[in-house]
Structure 1
Amino acid sequence: MRGLWGASHPGPTLVVSALALALGLAVSLEAWRLVLLTLAVFAGQLSVGISNDAFDAVRDHAVGRRDKPIARGDIRVGQASSAAFTALAAALLLSAPLGWRMLALHALVLGSAWSYNAGLKATSASIVPFLLSFGAFPSLATLSAPDPAVAAGWAWIAGAAFGAAVHLTNVLPDLDDDARTGIRGLPHRLGGRVSATMAAIAVVGGAVAVLLGPTDGDISTIPPLSWIFFTGVVAVAVVTVIRALVRPPGRILFRLVMGAALLLAAQLVASGSALAA
């Protein structure tokens, strides 16, 4: 169990599950709907993380990834694959009571994520699953409500921006290892500096969408909290771009962009009931 948990990418799994919980609270879901939404997303993220390590087992072993339980020999590929499919089935079963719309969208989100793991990560289209899965993510909460509705267009833009930032910077610490094993996704083709800069621009674009989207053009209605989150996103993004231009790309860029992306997520959650408008 410890090996499977390590293979699930615990950090991202918990962050995305917490984001689902926060979005569910923002749209005022009933307690049982909120619990099912959070558990469904958690199970889905377990399936995505574990399947990623199962698909990458040969490559991880080739480059000596001692941080990977499968490459380290703690669990076998077959065990990981079985656990990933079990978690996937659980995610869909938990989604079903929330309605067929939520079930269908969650299946699409997870199918998109699994397609990245299965091979899209090595192509120039590697960013597409992140745009689709995270763009649709706010709608998992709004479709879980008694009166299901797809999230507003600006929420899709913000989610897609979050996903783009995650993808463009998540691979920065592993560029060399990926190159040795034939992985050449979009960030690898763009290079570290360009990827980090594009990620920073993406989160600012998402922050603008969340800031202005619910206002119907009336800027005076923007609450102070939204301005605070927006200012934080822009500030961290500016630091990221400057750092990318003057220093070699590294893990610090990943941390900076993730900080900006989490501020964007908080800004999205703070928009509350406007998500379903």
Structure 2
Amino acid sequence: MPATRETAPPTRTSARPGHRAVAVALLAAGHPLPATAVTLLTAVLAAATGRGAAGCAVAAGAVALGQLSVGWCNDRADLRRDRLTGRPDKPLAVGAVRPATVSAAAIVALALCVPLSLASGRPAGTVHLCAVAAAWAYNLWLKRTVVSWLPYALAFGLLPAFVTLGLPGQPWPPLWLAVAAALLGAGAHFANVLPDIADDLATGVNGLPQRLGARRSAVLAALLVLGSAAALVLGPPGPVTPYRWVLLALTAGVLLATGRGRGRVPFLGTILVAAADVVLLLARGAGPL
């Protein structure tokens, strides 16, 4: 998700790319790094709550399909903008895969996501599909508004509920876990758009980070992500163990080191913090949250 540079549409040649090249380009258009990170986070969270191997696989599969549908929807919706700003990292923008192929992939992934989400039970499935709907709403509309952060916060905040509602008795997750996930999602939004703010403004995307500017958005991203880690440290009942304080300090160090970087470095730092959050969560021990 990304001085306007007027560029011509990608040059089309008579030779069509092979099936393997199209498959690779299609995968790249699905935003594989964040999709993999969120899927792994779901699998670990499901394992920590005791959902079992089958339950973990079903939850992770539903999230993977949802993430891919969102990624493909994002690149298809941004095709005109990505061509206008000359994005060589976008397979659609450079003509490596056809728009119709990406559109079809997004719809198929979304359609498959529905029954796989509901396989965890109706309450859990409904929660996850609401999260996916929020992400699609971001791609198609809300990214251009002052509440551009809200779909991220909502989708991430609902992720723990999707996992726990699939347990026997269908319990809701503790408030501190939902708050931590929502803060992480909102922080990821601000970190993700940092390198693209100038291009976004030039092409009509005026979300909250674009209105605040790169410097303030970078500070806000770090504070939100640090708040997520703090919620995991301070939220659970009982005394805070020393190694949790150490992990929180390391989290702050990662944010400080990556927050001043350029390009996708701040976003990669957010993913590292998400991994630290998983460690903080697992430090509580296995079993229901």
TM-score w.r.t. length of structure 1: 0.89
Of the structure 1 ranges 253-262 and 59-68, higher mean CA displacement relative to structure 2 is found in 253-262
Change (3 A) 1:37 1:253: closer
CA distance in 1, matches of 2:285, 2:126: 23
Distance 1:275 1:198 in 2: 32
C-alpha change, 1:275 and 1:158, in structure 2 (3 Å) is farther
Structure 1 stretches lacking a partner, 5+ long? none
Q: Which has the higher helix share?
A: 1
Rounded to whole Å, the distance in 2 between the matches of 1:191 and 1:151 is 35
Residue number in structure 1 paired with 2:28: 6
Equivalent residue for 2:253, pick from 222, 235, 244:
235
Q: Give the match for residue 226 of structure 1.
A: 244
- Determine whether 1:22 maps to 2:44: yes
Matched, 1:76 2:98: yes
1:202 maps to which of 224, 229, 232? 224
Say which is worse superposed, 125-134 or 264-273, in terms of deviation.
Answer: 264-273
CA distance in structure 2 between the partners assigned to 1:258 and 1:103 by the alignment:
25
Superposed displacement of residue 228, structure 1: 2.8
- How far the C-alpha of 1:113 sits from its partner, in A, is 0.4
Q: CA deviation at 1:264?
A: 2.7
Confirm whether residue 260 of structure 1 aligns to residue 278 of structure 2.
no
1:9-43, Cα deviation, whole Å (9 max, x unpaired) = 01001111000111011111121111111111111
1:136 aligns with 2:149: no
Q: Over the residues paired in the alignment, what is the CA RMSD in angstroms?
A: 2.0
| Runs of 4+ residues over 4 Å off in structure 1 | 238-241, 272-275
Query: Identity, % of aligned pairs?
Result: 38
Distance 2:272 2:43 in 1: 19
- State how far apart, in whole Å, the 2-side matches of 1:272 and 1:185 are: 39
Size of the alignment, in residue pairs? 267
SS of 1:184's equivalent?
coil
What letter corresponds to residue 275 of structure 2 in structure 1? Answer: L
Residue 262 of structure 1 deviates from its aligned partner by 3.4
The 5 Å alignment of 1:1-277 reads 1-215=23-237, 218-219=238-239, 222-239=240-257, 243=260, 250-272=263-285, 276=289
What is the alpha-carbon distance in structure 2 between the residues aligned to residue 65 and residue 238 of structure 1?
Answer: 28
Measure how far apart 1:257 and its partner are. 4.0
On the 8 A contact 1:47/1:87 being kept in 2, the answer is: yes
1:100-133 CA-to-partner distances (Å, cap 9, x unmatched) read: 0111001100000000000111111100001100
Deviations 1:212-242 (A, max 9, x none): 2212xx42xx34442332221223334466x
Contact 2:46 2:56 (8 Å CA) reproduced: yes
Post-superposition offset of 1:273: 5.2
Write the letter of the residue equivalent to 1:226: R
Seen in structure 2, the aligned counterparts of structure 1 residues 100 and 59 have a Cα distance that, compared at 3 Å, is same
